[in-house]
Every structure is written in structure tokens, then in C-alpha cells.
Amino acid sequence: MPSSSSSETPLHVVILPFMAKGHTIPLLHLTRLLFLHRSNIAVTIFTTHANSPFIRQSLHDTKASIIELNFPQKFHPEIPQGVESVDKLPSQSLLVPFCKGTKFLQPEFDTIFRSLRPNVSCLISDVFFPWSLEIAAKLSIPRLDFDGASNSAMVFYDILMTQEFLVDSDDELFSVIPSLPDIKLTKNDIEPEFSNPQPGEHTDFYTEVIMATSKSKGIIRNSFYELEPEFVDYWNRENSPKAWNIGPLCLLATKAVSCAEKPLWIQWLDERLEKGKSVLYVAFGSLAEVTVEQLREIAIGLENSGEHFFWVLRLPEPSIRDEFMSEFEERVKGRGLLVKNQWVDQVGILSHECVNGFMSHCGWNSVLESICESVPLLGFPITADQHLNARMVEEYFRIGVKVVTRNGSVRGFFGSECIENKVKELMDIEGEKGKEMRKNVRIFNEKARNAMVGGGSSWRTLNLLMDEVICNNALF
């Protein structure tokens, strides 16, 4: 796709991705998109030594420059030496200490940033690096936040954190605001540290993030206007800075073409396809922590559903040898495949012809990837914005269903009987609801692809954003 602009003004974009696959991968896709939009552009990506190989491999066929920063070897007593990415943390409770530790990157980053040539036109920084605002402000360079959440989730968070709702319990449903679609929420749909903030490092850090975002020149969102138009309009009418929707970026993902490079799980999916079997893909992201007890309920539900499934698990070392899970794996052999503690190409899996359902934590990347491969979702939200995304999947997009607890609470323990029933509902391709979900996800798939091509809403939005950066930030 050729650039839609004839501008010859040099443009140098610096990208600072957070050290987690779900944050990094969309920015690698954005790098490719920038090269498609402008021939006369330089892109420089900052990362750490341990994260560099993945980024270099992902962008080996582009002109992107990659600069490595020295990450401190020991900055927190509970974070092991050498951990440079969130997925390597021993517990996700250490996320905020890890985020705060990235500030040790700032002196080296600032020094190199000042020396870059050609001069930097703008900085695209993950929201988890609020300290990056300082150097951009000093040099009068626009800082654009990359926010990996949806417009709807950020609107809901903004409203729920600033308004008081008179409900009798944290699980009581209420309507959010009349001008928005009537998606009913509960206080339990957002994390307790936001619905009931307490003094401490979590509140301090997220306050710092919010303040840095408010002083940035714009927010880049990995979404597209046609997916959640009322929420895009609400955000840009009621909040600042402006949100620029330039996705879904997963459409820039490159796919392996060599049969010799097929991993074992793709070969397994090929075998299911040859046998005419429909497969449910099960994955909860690289960061989610699920208890052994909950994993057992999921396993029982999957086994009792009778469906074929491919399950990617992230497990602590002792859990890998769990006797129950080992026996389960043996019982479902031939019908279910388990892959433990390995990173997989999720887009490649969802694009496989035999995959007809996705049981997901409903992280925003996963929702978009599912839409872009026309695969309906079974929401199994765990943390962060996932509860909100799961509600949108079921009630607004109508491209899936979500699990419910035995007592009806948003948070808690999900029983095997619910999982079994929801899996059957999702995978019932010929059922009325199954047909509706698949029809809706195909419609959004087409809209997503149209948004990313020349003349589409996301294509035009990125062109406008880049033009404003080049033309002395006229709208800023």
C-alpha cells in the first residue's frame, strides 16, 4: 500500500515499548505501519538487552533502528536478578515495583535521545513510562502515549473512578451514563485499586501515569472507529488528550510460510482439520495468574464439553508436575493438546481453518486478534480491563459469551459446569446464538480490514496524526 502523502519532510519517530509481549507486539506492528505510510521516515526503538532479540527478529526485514539500554540487575528484593520483562516476574503482584524500576533506564535513555539524528519528531511511549514525558517536554518534542486498552474500557474507568454510584453491593448492576450504549456494569468490573484506591505505591504510580498522559500530546489507541464509535466520540468530547485510533495493528502481523517451520501445535491443528474437527483455542495471555484449583475446574469443563481444544498454559514450575493435570492430559489425548509455558503465535493459531472458538481472558489484543480472524470468544476475565472487555464482547459487540461464577459475582471461582455449558454454547456452530456470533464477528472483521487500508478510518487517522507532527504540531 503506497503512502497517501507526498510530503518529503523528514520524520524521525522514537518508540519506547513496555517490556511485556502484549505491550511490545502492537508497537512492532505500528513500526511496520509507519514505514507503509511514509517512505522518508526513520524509526528508532529503545529496549533492554534481554528484550532486544525478540524485537530484532520481529523487525529484521525493516529499516528500524534498535537501541539497547542497560536494565538494573537488582533494584527490588523480590524481583530476581536479570528479570527484564513482566512475563518473567515470579508474581504479577510485582508489576508496579517493576514499572517503577524502569525509571532507572531514564538517564541513559535521555542521553541517547538527545544525540539521535535526524532530530526526533515525536516520541511514542507506552503509558507505563510516565518518566519519558520529562525529556520530551524539555526538548519540545511531542510525546504520544500508547495505550493498549480499548476506548470503552478507558471511558468506563474514567466514569467509574470519578462518579459515585448508589448501589447496595459491588455486584449490583447499574447503567453508566445515558449518552452511552446501555452496557450495565458493576463496581467489581474494575480493579479494587481504582474503585477503592488506598494510599501506597500502586495509587502513587497510577496517579503518575494519569498525570503524564494528561500532559501528553495525544493517545494512540489500538482500535478502529467502527468498532466502538460512541466511545471514541465520548472520549474525544469529554476528555483530553485526543485519542487517535489507528488499529487493529495485529493486521500487520507477519505469518510464517515455510512448512518446515511449523511448530508441533500447528501440525496438530492440521491433523484436526484433516479429520474435520472443530477446535477451541484456550489461552489467558502471558501474564495471567490462575490458581491450580481454577485450572482443574477449567480442565473438567473442557473434558466434559466433548469438544476438541488446544490449551496454552502459563504455569509456575511446581504446577507443571501437578498429578491431576497430568492425568487429565492423558485422558483427553487425541482430543486436547496442552502446551505449557511457551510463547505461541496467537494470530497464526486463530487464523487456522479448524479453530472456531477462543476461550480468552479478553485482554484487548486478544479481542482484536479474534475479530481479525473471525473467531467468536468465550470470555474468562481475570484482571485489569478484562472484565469490561468481556462485557463488551457479549453485550455490545455480540461476538461471544462469558463465564459466570456459581454465586453470580463478577469475580470469584468459575465452576466446571459453567465452563462446560459455555464451551458448548460457543462451539455450537449451527445453533441460533452460534450463528449470530459468527455473523457479527465476520462483519467486524470486514470493518477492521477496511479501516486499515488506504482511505479507511484508521489509515486516515494515522496520516492526519503524522501530518500534524510534521507540520509543527499545528493541532497540538
E-strand ranges in 341-398 read 355-360, 377-379
Place of cell 520483562: 85
Helix (H, G, I), strand (E, B) or coil at 16: strand
Average pLDDT over residues 356-369: 97
Q: Predicted confidence band at 406 (pLDDT cuts at 50, 70, 90)? A: confident
The enclosing H or E element of 138 equals helix 132-138
Half-sphere exposure of 382 (CA within 13 A, CB side): 18
Q: Is the pLDDT of residue 422 over 80?
A: yes
Q: What pLDDT, on the 0 to 100 scale, is given for residue 475?
A: 44
E-strand ranges in 83-168 read 122-126, 143-147
Q: Taking Cα atoms as reference points, which of 227, 225, 233, 350 lies closest to residue 282?
A: 350
Average pLDDT over residues 5-25: 83
Neighbours of 53 (CB within 10 A): 11
Percent of the chain with pLDDT over 70: 93
How far from 255 is each of 249, 306, 472, CA to CA, in Å?
A: 14, 31, 37
- Tens of pLDDT, residue by residue over 192-224, are 777 777 788 888 999 999 999 999 999 999 999
Percent of the chain with pLDDT over 90: 67
* DSSP notation for 166-195: --SSTT--EE--TTS---EE-GGGS-HHHH
Which grid cell sits at 129? 513510562
The residue that leads in pLDDT, 314 or 417, is 417
Q: Is the pLDDT of residue 445 over 50?
A: yes
Domains of the chain: 11-252+452-470 (3.40.50.2000), 264-449 (3.40.50.2000)
Q: Is the pLDDT of residue 260 over 80?
A: no
Q: What pLDDT, on the 0 to 100 scale, is given for residue 24?
A: 96
List beta partners, residue 98. none
Which grid cell sits at 460? 486516515
The residue that leads in pLDDT, 470 or 466, is 466
Whole-angstrom Cα distance, residue 34 to residue 226?
21
Is 452 in contact with 248 (CB distance < 8 Å)? yes
* DSSP notation for 255-322: ----GGG--HHHHHHHHHHHTT--EEEEE-TTT----HHHHHHHHHHHHHH--EEEEEE---HHHHT-
Q: Is the pLDDT of residue 289 over 60?
A: yes
Whole-angstrom Cα distance, residue 9 to residue 471?
9
Least confident of 13-27, 168-182, 212-226, 285-299: 168-182
What average pLDDT does the chain have?
89
The distance of Cα 313 from the centroid of its chain, to the nearest Å, equals 17
Q: Predicted confidence band at 317 (pLDDT cuts at 50, 70, 90)? A: low
Q: What pLDDT, on the 0 to 100 scale, is given for residue 166?
A: 73
Is 287 in contact with 92 (CB distance < 8 Å)? yes
Q: Is the pLDDT of residue 101 over 90?
A: yes
pTM above 0.85, yes or no: yes
- Tens of pLDDT, residue by residue over 230-255, are 999 999 999 999 999 999 999 998 75
Helix (H, G, I), strand (E, B) or coil at 60: coil
Whole-angstrom Cα distance, residue 157 to residue 99?
20
The residue that leads in pLDDT, 299 or 323, is 299
Q: Is the pLDDT of residue 6 over 70?
A: no
Q: What pLDDT, on the 0 to 100 scale, is given for residue 9?
A: 58
E-strand ranges in 301-441 read 308-313, 336-340, 355-360, 377-379, 400-402
- Tens of pLDDT, residue by residue over 21-74, are 999 999 999 999 999 998 899 999 999 999 999 999 999 999 999 999 999 888
Q: Is the pLDDT of residue 87 over 50?
A: yes
Is 306 in contact with 331 (CB distance < 8 Å)? no
Q: What pLDDT, on the 0 to 100 scale, is given for residue 471?
A: 63
How far from 2 is each of 7, 36, 106, 254, CA to CA, in Å?
A: 13, 7, 36, 18
Q: Is the pLDDT of residue 473 over 90?
A: no
Is 17 in contact with 27 (CB distance < 8 Å)? yes
